């Protein structure tokens, strides 16, 4: 067995989150990812939290990669990158549109060097359209996509999600686009440009919420933790902490009423069908909460799971990291070698495969660590040529 992307070489000119998240997935799945960093390195090397002086932010997103330090203001360094382009499969960048062109590596120029290369770009607004040159960050994508308008409680201001979901969605969609383009290259025998806008990705993720307006003409509002079309599908307060319950259809409603000992709820015509329950959400919320507050979270989970009613405690991050299923059985919390000393923990890859080798995670590279090996092993440069770049690294 082997990893599915073995033999694919990726030149990664991205930094911070959206691009490195994409190339992290590619590297985990076996691609050779060569991270091209400037003389200061990826900005996220300076982002907290720090473990023995190393950014855990950087270490998590840049495991399994090689680091080559190149000052792309230097013509000799640009020539090195051109030579690497000729022997690579993917070129990915997340600069503001036009920046990579000014550096001398536009899609057209990269394609001229390697017609089969997949050229991927992540930016705030994509490579076309009237907003293309505006600066774009995760919070901009969440704002413009409408995501913030429906996140939070009815009486709260618009709220961003607790994680940088716009950047993560950009990285995921870029990864999908690259994989599709690689497959397309097998049959069409040419490269491709993948153009990812963070705003586009966030708009796509809004799915049904956008359809509400386009079909009904109604602008969806913030609704807390409840779901627009289903109830009870919400967070509820137990005697000790908060939980969620997901009564997703009429059969589950029947089981829920049986589990809670409230056959009277099931027989109540106000709650007969899901659409009825959604219309009576405020009343149902009070009724369900009156039951949950009489029990601990564990008691509720045990009762409802015994009746196959979807439910869960609302974990804090400490709970996640210790969870038997998430952290251990599904290996979503993993140990890797620390770049300097000992071990450190990172989040695992969520894409599980049966026939491929199990994921292994190597430590994130020290800035420029692989410059000499890449120049020697891939480009076959002699020691004199290599010394120009390795000497630069010590200055």
The CB-side HSE value for 168 (13 A sphere, CA atoms) comes to: 7
182 pLDDT more than 50: yes
393 pLDDT more than 60: no
pLDDT at 390: 82
Residue 280 confidence class, pLDDT cut points 50, 70, 90:
very high
pLDDT at 229: 85
Query: E strands along the chain, which residues?
Result: 9-12, 32-37, 50-51, 54-55, 65-69, 90-93, 118-123, 192-197, 233-237, 242-246, 311-313, 333-337, 343-347
Output the DSSP codes for 37-73.
E-TT--GGGGPSPEETTEEHHHHHHTTTEEEEE--TT
Give the residue-averaged pLDDT of 251-255: 97
375 pLDDT more than 80: yes
Taking the alpha carbons at both ends of the chain, their separation in whole angstroms is 43
Per-residue pLDDT tens for 285-344?
A: 999 999 999 999 999 999 999 999 999 999 999 999 999 999 999 999 999 888 888 899
Domains of the chain: 9-205+353-394 (3.40.50.10540)
- Whole-angstrom Cα distance, residue 259 to residue 3? 45
Pairing mode, if any, of strands 242-246 and 233-237? antiparallel
Give the residue-averaged pLDDT of 359-378: 94
pLDDT at 94: 97
Query: Residue 194 to residues 8, 49, 112, 139, 280: CA-CA distances in angstroms?
Result: 17, 32, 17, 23, 46
Give the residue-averaged pLDDT of 224-233: 91
pLDDT at 318: 96
395 pLDDT more than 70: no
- Whole-angstrom Cα distance, residue 290 to residue 283? 11
pTM for the predicted model, two decimal places: 0.93
Catalytic residue set: 167
351 pLDDT more than 60: yes
- Whole-angstrom Cα distance, residue 257 to residue 188? 56
Per-residue pLDDT tens for 9-66?
A: 999 999 999 999 999 999 999 999 999 999 999 999 999 999 988 999 999 999 999 9
pLDDT at 1: 58
Find how far residue 60's CA is from the centre of its chain. Answer: 12
- Residue 268: name the closest of 257, 282, 281, 255 by CA: 257
Give the residue-averaged pLDDT of 104-131: 97
The mean pLDDT of the chain is 95
pLDDT at 394: 42
């Amino acid at each position: 067995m082997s990893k599915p992307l073995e033999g694919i070489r990726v030149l990664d000119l991205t930094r911070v989150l959206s691009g490195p998240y994409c190339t992290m997935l590619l590297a985990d799945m076996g691609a050779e990812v060569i991270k091209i960093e400037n003389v200061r390195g990826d900005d996220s090397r300076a982002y907290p939290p720090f473990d023995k002086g190393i950014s855990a932010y950087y270490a998590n997103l840049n495991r399994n990669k090689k680091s080559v330090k190149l000052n792309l203001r230097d013509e000799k360094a640009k020539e090195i990158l051109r030579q690497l382009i000729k022997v690579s499969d993917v070129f990915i960048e997340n600069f503001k549109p036009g920046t990579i062109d000014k550096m001398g590596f536009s899609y057209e120029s990269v394609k001229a060097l390697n017609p089969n290369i997949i050229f991927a770009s992540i930016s705030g607004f994509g490579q076309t359209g009237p907003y293309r040159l505006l600066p774009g960050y995760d919070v901009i994508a969440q704002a413009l996509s409408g995501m913030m308008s429906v996140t939070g409680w009815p009486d709260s201001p618009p709220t961003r999600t607790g994680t940088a979901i716009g950047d993560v969605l950009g990285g995921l969609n870029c990864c999908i686009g690259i994989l599709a383009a690689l497959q397309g290259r097998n049959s069409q025998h040419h490269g491709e440009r993948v153009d990812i806008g963070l705003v586009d990705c966030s708009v796509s993720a809004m799915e049904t919420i956008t359809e509400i307006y386009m079909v009904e003409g109604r602008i969806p509002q913030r609704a807390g933790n409840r779901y627009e079309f289903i109830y009870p599908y919400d967070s509820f307060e137990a005697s000790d902490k908060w939980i969620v319950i997901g009564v997703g259809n009429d059969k589950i409603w029947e089981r829920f009423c049986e589990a809670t000992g409230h056959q009277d709820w099931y027989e109540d015509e106000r709650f007969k069908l899901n659409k009825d329950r959604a219309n009576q959400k405020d009343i149902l919320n009070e009724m369900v909460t009156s039951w949950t507050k009489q029990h601990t979270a564990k008691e509720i989970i045990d009762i409802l799971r015994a009746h196959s009613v979807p439910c869960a405690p609302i974990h804090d991050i400490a709970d996640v990291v210790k969870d038997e299923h998430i952290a251990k059985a599904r290996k979503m919390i993993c140990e890797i070698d620390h770049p300097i000393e000992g071990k450190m923990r990172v989040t695992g890859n969520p894409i599980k495969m049966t026939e491929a080798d199990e994921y292994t995670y190597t430590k994130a590279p020290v800035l420029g660590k692989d410059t000499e090996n890449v120049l020697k092993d891939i480009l076959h440069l002699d020691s004199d040529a290599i010394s120009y770049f390795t000497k630069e690294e010590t200055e």
